[in-house]
């Protein structure tokens, strides 16, 4: 089988093939196809080289070109393999578009959490990315930053709740999400507040600081964490014991969990907001299609275009000392559920 493969790869046209067909030197092919010809190559020759490359289907190798340009132009967005909500999907799509406008190729690299910080950084470094941006993950370590920098990565950014030494940081303050929900419930007079804690372990990095934020904002009030699976039966159980809990307000982790709970409460005859004031987070379209409409914490992520501009600047100035940006302003969108 593997011999069949080398047959396939041996037919890949090279710049030498292009040079032969165009009747020019390989250096000329390189000048023309990498736009580094300056005034050295006539327009006529240029056209001949391009026509030969087209005819043969010759494609320069990004990694080979990187030896000349000094970089691959690859921007690796590394994020854990959890199901992102629409909010993050849209953010990533915008960022990709912005990076492409700057001439970079952005790809998303899913991580699974079973490699050490060193191993995962080496896996990234093997692709020789020009920049790496890691999203909501602990995969990036100071040693990982060092490995990437040494292998030529010019900018390493982390989008996380805590800064990573050596990397630029986009700090996403999850406790502010909980604090915003807590402040709202306290302002509405609630003194006994439940906080939904998804049992899904991949969400702990969000749920724990959100809980801490509620506790901080609702100092003096009773705050009760409530474990919940993302299933109808788990929500029905919560509804069944709601009255015995003695709580009046509930921060539901996010809008999707809130939708699940609101349906279970409706089935159990628990009136929202009178028997239970519900607050979601992420302010999805979902919050507006529920009845009663859901109060939700709105989180503003940075514009993908602005972030692409920042990444481009940090690539162009690779010796910039680590910079820190606070992102994700939390505000409350009050609707009918609280």
Q: Which is nearer to its own copies, 45 or 66 (CB)?
A: 66
At its nearest, how many Å lie between its own copies and the CB of residue 287?
Answer: 11
At its nearest, how many Å lie between its own copies and the CB of residue 118?
Answer: 9
Q: Which is nearer to its own copies, 122 or 188 (CB)?
A: 122
4 binds its own copies (CB under 8 A): yes
110 binds its own copies (CB under 8 A): yes
Task: Please tell me the total number of residues recorded for the chain in this structure.
Answer: 338
Instruction: Choose which of 27, 108, 240, 271 interacts with its own copies (CB under 8 A).
Output: 108
Instruction: Choose which of 37, 127, 212, 327 interacts with its own copies (CB under 8 A).
Output: 127
* Residues 177 and 210 sit within 8 Å (Cβ to Cβ): yes
Q: Which is nearer to its own copies, 85 or 328 (CB)?
A: 85
233 binds its own copies (CB under 8 A): no
The Cα angle at residue 223 between residues 212 and 288, in degrees rounded to 5 = 80
Closest CA to 101 of 318, 333, 243, 304: 304
187 binds its own copies (CB under 8 A): no
Cα distances (angstroms) measured from residue 160 to each of 83, 104, 141, 326: 17, 23, 12, 10
Closest CA to 304 of 124, 170, 175: 170
Q: Which is nearer to its own copies, 175 or 254 (CB)?
A: 254
317 binds its own copies (CB under 8 A): yes
Q: What is the dihedral of CA 213, 214, 216, 221, to 10 degrees?
A: -170
Instruction: Choose which of 117, 152, 163, 328 interacts with its own copies (CB under 8 A).
Output: 152
11 binds its own copies (CB under 8 A): yes
At its nearest, how many Å lie between its own copies and the CB of residue 161?
Answer: 22
What whole-number distance in Å separates Cα of residue 54 and Cα of residue 59?
9
Closest CA to 310 of 155, 128, 130, 92: 155
Q: Which is nearer to its own copies, 147 or 214 (CB)?
A: 147
The answer to whether the Cα torsion of 298, 299, 302, 304 is positive or negative is negative
Per residue in 213-222, is it b (16+ CB within 10 Å) or e — as a string? Answer: bbbebbeebe
Per residue in 246-269, is it b (16+ CB within 10 Å) or e — as a string? Answer: ebbbbbbbbbbbbbbbbebbeebe
What whole-number distance in Å separates Cα of residue 204 and Cα of residue 227?
11
Q: Which is nearer to its own copies, 125 or 214 (CB)?
A: 125
What whole-number distance in Å separates Cα of residue 195 and Cα of residue 253?
7
At its nearest, how many Å lie between its own copies and the CB of residue 7?
Answer: 8
At its nearest, how many Å lie between its own copies and the CB of residue 154?
Answer: 6
Site string for its own copies, 24-63 (x = CB under 8 A): --------------------------------xx-xxxxx
At its nearest, how many Å lie between its own copies and the CB of residue 204?
Answer: 18
Q: Which is nearer to its own copies, 226 or 258 (CB)?
A: 258
Site string for its own copies, 246-265 (x = CB under 8 A): ----------x--xx-xx--
Which stretch, 8-16, 18-26, 36-44, 208-216, contacts its own copies (CB under 8 A)?
A: 8-16
102 binds its own copies (CB under 8 A): no
Residue 321: DSSP 8-state: P
Q: Burial of 276 by CB count in 10 Å (0-12 exposed, 13-18 middle, 19+ buried)?
A: buried
149 binds its own copies (CB under 8 A): yes
């Amino acid at each position: 089988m593997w011999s069949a493969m080398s047959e396939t790869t041996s037919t890949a046209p090279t710049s030498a093939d292009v040079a032969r067909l165009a009747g020019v030197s390989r250096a000329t092919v390189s000048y023309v196809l990498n736009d580094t010809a300056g005034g050295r190559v006539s327009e006529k020759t240029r056209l001949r080289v391009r026509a030969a490359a087209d005819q043969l289907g010759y494609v320069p190798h990004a990694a080979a070109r990187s030896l000349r340009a000094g970089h691959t132009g690859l921007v690796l967005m590394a994020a854990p393999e959890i199901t992102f909500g629409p909010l993050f999907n849209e953010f990533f799509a915008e960022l990709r578009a912005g990076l492409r406008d700057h001439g970079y190729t952005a790809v998303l690299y899913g991580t699974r959490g079973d490699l050490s910080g060193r191993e995962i950084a080496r896996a990234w470094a093997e692709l020789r990315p020009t920049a790496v941006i890691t999203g909501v993950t602990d995969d990036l370590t100071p040693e990982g930053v060092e490995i990437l920098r040494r292998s030529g990565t010019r900018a390493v950014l982390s989008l996380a709740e805590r800064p990573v030494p050596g990397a630029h940081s986009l700090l996403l303050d999850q406790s502010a999400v909980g604090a915003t929900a807590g402040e709202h419930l306290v302002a509405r007079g609630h003194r006994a507040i439940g906080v939904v804690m998804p049992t899904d372990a991949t969400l702990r990095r969000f749920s724990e600081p959100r809980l801490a934020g509620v506790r901080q904002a609702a100092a003096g009030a009773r705050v009760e964490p409530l474990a919940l699976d993302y299933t109808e039966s788990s929500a029905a159980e919560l509804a069944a014991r709601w009255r015995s809990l003695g709580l009046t307000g509930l921060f539901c982790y996010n809008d999707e969990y809130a939708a699940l709970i609101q349906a279970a409460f409706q089935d159990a005859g628990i009136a929202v907001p009178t028997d239970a004031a519900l607050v979601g987070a992420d302010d999805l379209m979902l919050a507006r299609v529920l009845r009663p409409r859901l109060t939700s914490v709105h989180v503003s992520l940075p514009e993908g275009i602005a972030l692409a501009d920042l990444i481009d600047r940090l690539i162009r100035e690779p010796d910039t000392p680590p910079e820190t940006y606070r992102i994700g302003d939390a505000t409350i969108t009050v609707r009918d559920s609280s």
